[in-house]
Structure 1
Amino acid sequence: MGSKYTKRYTEEFKRDAVALVDSSGRTVTVAAREPGISPESLRGWHRRAEADRGESESGDLTSAEREEPKRLRKEGP
């Protein structure tokens, strides 16, 4: 059922979708239906936002922690 092309969403769209979950009290699955987002995508964005706010209980890395290895590789030895 999937497409060979991955949809790209802006950071603003992702933030708005996460805010919808947080403010509505809806589950990620229910909140994903209206804008037509896959629940898996929204769940990932929500987990990342929680980690960035220091609210993750699963030990997820923050965005800054995930970006650091990429930055270090670009900088080189």
Structure 2
Amino acid sequence: MPKPHPQEFRDDVVNVARNREPGQTIKQIASDFGIAESCLRNWMRRADIEAGARPGTTAAENAELREAKKRIRLLEQENEVLRRAAAYLSQANLPSKGSTRS
């Protein structure tokens, strides 16, 4: 898989595409920069989302969501360990058969 283009390059290409001269197409701009037209359109869509001009989740929101999901997974694992430990310890404290203790 090819290495992703740097964010500065993406921003520059999007700016050129947005401020293009009349008659110049997105396809021409994309080929001038050596990228696919669909790639440029995706970058433009992502830039609109980041700017708030289009609905969608921003990169910051995606990162926050990833961190929250990671934290939830960890807490669920900890909860499962504690639940199993409580069940084990409650069984260990029950009097065994034949015991005279109350």
TM-score over 0.5 (shorter chain):
yes
Q: Are the structure 2 counterparts of residues 51 and 23 from structure 1 closer, same or farther at C-alpha, using a change threshold of 3 Å?
A: same
Using the TM superposition, name which of 37-46 and 25-34 deviates more: 25-34
TM-score by length of 1: 0.72
Q: Specify the alignment match of 1:66 in structure 2.
A: 62
Q: Are the structure 2 counterparts of residues 31 and 53 from structure 1 closer, same or farther at C-alpha, using a change threshold of 3 Å?
A: same
RMSD across aligned C-alpha pairs, in angstroms? 2.0
The structure in which a higher percent of residues are helix is: 2
Question: Is the contact made by 1:48 and 1:63 (CA closer than 8 Å) also made in structure 2?
Answer: no
Q: Specify the alignment match of 1:55 in structure 2.
A: 53
Question: Is the contact made by 1:29 and 1:39 (CA closer than 8 Å) also made in structure 2?
Answer: yes
TM-score by length of 2: 0.57
Q: Which runs of 5+ in 2 are unaligned?
A: 76-102
Question: Distance between the aligned counterparts of 2:25 and 2:52, measured in 1?
Answer: 20
Higher RCO (C-alpha 8 Å, min separation 6) = 1
When Rg is computed on C-alpha atoms for both structures, the one with the higher figure is: 2
Cα drift, residue 52 of structure 1: 0.9
Q: Which amino acid aligns with 2:29?
A: A
Q: Identity over the aligned pairs, expressed in percent? A: 30
Q: Are the structure 2 counterparts of residues 66 and 28 from structure 1 closer, same or farther at C-alpha, using a change threshold of 3 Å?
A: farther
